């Protein structure tokens, strides 16, 4: 993999890591009310929203379609 093709991938990974943390990690307390349905699929929904701004939307969609 060339350094050129790798930069957007790392950007993608940073966003994936951020969304994964905010939606799927962090403290959960018993008795809280879930204000959004935050399951694994939503990581990709959120990611698509985020990635739309960095121009890698198509690739992500293609990847999601393969699943």
What is the chain's Cα-based Rg? 14
- Residue 3 interacting with other proteins (CB under 8 A): no
Please tell me whether residue 10 binds other proteins under the rule CB under 8 A. yes
CA distances in angstroms from 23 to 1, 14, 49, 65, listed in the order given: 30, 14, 14, 21
Query: Binders of other proteins among 19-48, rule CB under 8 A?
Result: 19-36, 38, 40, 42, 45-46
Binding of other proteins by 61 (CB under 8 A)? no
Q: Which candidate, 37, 41, 38, places its Cα nearest to that of 24?
A: 38
Binding positions for other proteins, rule: CB under 8 A = 1, 6, 9-10, 13-14, 16-36, 38, 40, 42, 45-46, 49-50, 53, 63, 66-67
């Amino acid at each position: 993999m060339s350094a050129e093709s790798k930069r957007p991938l790392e950007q993608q990974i940073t966003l994936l890591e951020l969304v994964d943390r905010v939606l799927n990690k962090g403290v959960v307390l018993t008795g809280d009310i879930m204000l959004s349905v935050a399951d694994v699929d939503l990581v990709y929904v959120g990611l698509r929203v985020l990635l739309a701004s960095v121009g890698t939307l198509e690739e992500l969609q293609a990847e999601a379609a393969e699943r």
